[in-house]
A = this chain, B = another copy of it.
C-alpha cells in the first residue's frame, strides 16, 4: 500500500508528474510555476533510513522537501544531547530557518528510506523574482513552518505526560488522514520512543508509561510503533483539544 506509493515516487523524474502535487504545499502550486522550476528542482536524492539530508552547521545551498518518507530535524545541545525539533512529512518544506544565518541550525535525518527533492536557493530566488504568486507561496510555506513550531510549543505547554502524548497522537492521526484523505484509526509511528520523548521533552520511560496507561484505559491499542486509536473522543479530551475537531481533509 504505502510501499507501492513510495516506490512509484522513486521512479518519477520531475515535479510536473509528482504524485504528491496536490499536497505539495510548500513551493510548487501552479503548473506553469512547476515548469519554471523544472530545470532546477530535478535533483532528487534517495536518503537511506538514519542518514542525514543536511547537518547542523552546513552552509545552505538548497532547501528540501521530502516526497516520500518522514524526516526529523534535531539540534545538538551543548551538552551533546540531541533535541528533536520536528517531524516532517512528505510535502513539507524544511530548512527555512537557515535563511537567517546562512547555515542550518539543525540536522535533518531520514527516519525511513526517503526520497528528497532538492531546491537550490538560486533557483528559488530566480523563480520567486519572476513569479509573484510563487513568491507568495514561498512566504506561505515559511508561515507554515512557523505555525508548526507554534503547535510544538503549545504541545510542550501541556504539563502532564499523558496530555502531550495524546496531543502528539492527535496530530499524527490528522497528518495521516490528510495524507490518505480518509478517516483512520491506525497510526504508524516512523520514529522510535526516544525521538518521541525528545520531541515532547520527556524521558523515554515516561513515554512508554504513558502509552501503557492509555492502553490500559482502553484509549489506545499499542503494538510497538503501530498505535490504534480506540477512543478518539477521549484521546481528544485528554489532549485538551476542542472535542472531536473535524478532520480537515482539504
Using a CB–CB distance below 8 Å, which chain A residues touch chain B?
75, 77-79, 83, 85, 96-101, 105-106, 125, 128-129, 132, 135-136, 138-140, 142-147, 149-150, 152-154, 156-157, 159, 198, 201, 240-242
- Chain B residues with Cβ below 8 Å from A159 are 201
Contacts of A100 in B (CB 8 A): 140, 143-144, 146-147
Closest chain-B Cβ to A63's Cβ sits at a distance in Å of 10
Give CA–CA (A142, B150) in the complex, Å.
14
Report how far A122 CA is from B145 CA in the complex, Å.
Answer: 22
Q: Is A125 within 8 A of B129, CB to CB? A: no
Task: For the complex, give the distance between the alpha carbons of A64 and B132 in Å.
Answer: 21
> Given that A129-B129, A142-B142, A201-B159 are contacting pairs, would A77 and B154 also be in contact in the complex, using a CB cutoff of 8 Å?
yes
Q: How far is the CA of A143 from the CA of B141 in the complex (A)?
A: 11
A-B contact pairs, 7 of them (CB 8 A): A75-B150, A85-B150, A96-B142, A100-B146, A139-B142, A146-B146, A149-B149
Min distance, Cβ A83 to any Cβ of chain B, angstroms: 5
Are B154 and A153 in touch, CB under 8 angstroms?
no
Which residue from chain B places its CB closest to the CB of A140 in the assembled complex? B99
Residues on the B chain within 8 Å of A101, using CB: 143, 147
Which secondary structure dominates chain A's binding surface? helix
Q: Do A106 and B139 touch (CB < 8 A)?
A: no
Partner of A150, one of B99, B106, B139, B144: B106
Nearest-CB distance from A137 to chain B (Å)? 10
Provide the residues of chain B in CB contact with A97, threshold 8 Å: 143, 146-147, 150
**Which chain B residues lie closer than 8 Å to A154 at the CB level?**
75, 77, 83
A127 to chain B, nearest CB (A): 11
- Whose C-beta in chain B lies nearest to the C-beta of A60? B143
Inter-subunit contact B153/A142 (CB<8 Å)? no
In the bound complex, CA of A153 to CA of B150 (Å): 10
Chain B contacts for A83, CB-based, 8 A? 153-154, 157
